[in-house]
Amino acid sequence: MTPANPRILPYGEAALGEAAALIRARQCVAVPTETVYGLAADATDSDAVAGIYAAKGRPSFNPLIVHVADMAMAETIARFGDEARALAARFWPGPLTMVLPLAEGSPVASLVTAGLATVALRMPDHRAMQGLIRASGRPLAAPSANASGGISPTRAAHVAASLAGRIPLVIDDGATTDGIESTIVDPATRRILRPGPVTAEQLPGYSSGATPGAITAPGQLASHYAPSKPVRLGAVRAEAGEWLIGFGVIVGDDTLSATGDLREAAARLFDALHRADASNRPRIAIAAVPLHGLGLAIQDRLARAAHPRP
């Protein structure tokens, strides 16, 4: 009998060994980070990276984030100026991605960067992703481990449901702590390209928002992170047929954080959207979150979830 795909293995030496063997065999493996579960493949091998696009059904012009275990590996891939070095010292390992010029002789496959002269790089703060990079000896390209356009996965079960039959293995290390994708910055222009767990307040001198001419990638597509049901934002109570996701004093069928804590809300956000999508109500309503700190990243994901499908 063929085992059901994907297999879900608990984090440990055995799981890392199997996953590393799959990576070296140019396959992709789902692995948690502190932000969301990623679908990882050898960033230096274009066939392996093509497997990510195939499994996700992702349009191939979108560049991917490369994950490294240490600065030595990072510097073989990208060029670090003073500002990039300062950010790395302050925020790595952690949920910050930097867009940097490719290093001379960078081993990253051009499919990863979609042919750009820059690469998005991050050093994750998670034992499973760190362990897999070290065990495989490869930098790993990894977008979120969900079918393209779907809700980002914060648990192994989300990955298994979204990518059933399309990937061989998920390393299960429980729910992710941050719950939303990394903050992406361009140190050269001091712009925040995608809001995330590292907040604008922690990046003084950086301006927010996409710039004309910037690449459009899935995180920037208006209806990314979408549940399958219509979503209404800023709800104070549920209307007929709605599943209400509350926040603070707004009590719903579920809550992002009963105490109004934005860290907790970020960590629970995608999980709550998965539960709402799986509920027996045809529509989803979500309470407002305050628009500062992590609230900006949460609102960014919610606005995309609520945007009408193309």
Taking the complex as a whole, the smallest distance from the CB of residue 259 to ligand TXA amounts, in Å, to 25
Q: How many CA atoms lie within 13 A of 282 on its CB side?
A: 3
Residue 176 sits in the site that holds Mg ion (CB under 5 A):
no
Taking the complex as a whole, the smallest distance from the CB of residue 90 to Mg ion amounts, in Å, to 25
The CA distances from residue 245 to 99, 107, 251, in Å, are: 34, 44, 8
Decide if 269 contacts 180 (C-beta within 8 A).
yes
- Residue 194 annotated as part of some ligand binding site: yes
Q: Cα(182)–Cα(237) distance, rounded to whole angstroms?
A: 31
Q: Cα(290)–Cα(125) distance, rounded to whole angstroms?
A: 27
Extract the runs of DSSP E, i.e. beta strands, from 29-87. 29-32, 37-42, 65-67
- Residue 307 annotated as part of some ligand binding site: no
- Residue 122 annotated as part of some ligand binding site: yes
Report which DSSP code applies to 181. Answer: P
Taking the complex as a whole, the smallest distance from the CB of residue 113 to Mg ion amounts, in Å, to 17
What is the binding site for ligand TXA (CB under 6 A)?
33, 35-36, 38, 62-65, 97, 99, 113, 116, 118-120, 142-144, 181-182, 184, 193-194, 215, 217-220
From the list ligand TXA, Mg ion, none, pick the one residue 116 interacts with, judged by a Cβ distance below 5 to 8 Å according to partner type: ligand TXA
Which residues are registered as beta bridge partners of 169?
Answer: 7
Q: Which is nearer to ligand TXA, 36 or 244 (CB)?
A: 36
Residue at 140: amino acid letter: L
Taking the complex as a whole, the smallest distance from the CB of residue 27 to ligand TXA amounts, in Å, to 17
State the CB neighbour count (10 A cutoff) for residue 233: 15
Q: Cα(310)–Cα(308) distance, rounded to whole angstroms?
A: 6
Strands 254-255 and 283-286: unpaired
Q: Cα(295)–Cα(289) distance, rounded to whole angstroms?
A: 6
Q: Which is nearer to ligand TXA, 178 or 242 (CB)?
A: 178
Taking the complex as a whole, the smallest distance from the CB of residue 142 to ligand TXA amounts, in Å, to 5
Site string for Mg ion, 130-169 (x = CB under 5 A): --------------x-------------------------
From the list ligand TXA, Mg ion, none, pick the one residue 136 interacts with, judged by a Cβ distance below 5 to 8 Å according to partner type: none
**Residues comprising the binding site for L-threonine?**
35, 67, 122, 142, 182
**Residues comprising the binding site?**
35, 58, 62, 67, 118, 122, 142, 144, 152, 182, 194, 225
Give the footprint of Mg ion on this chain (CB under 5 A): 144
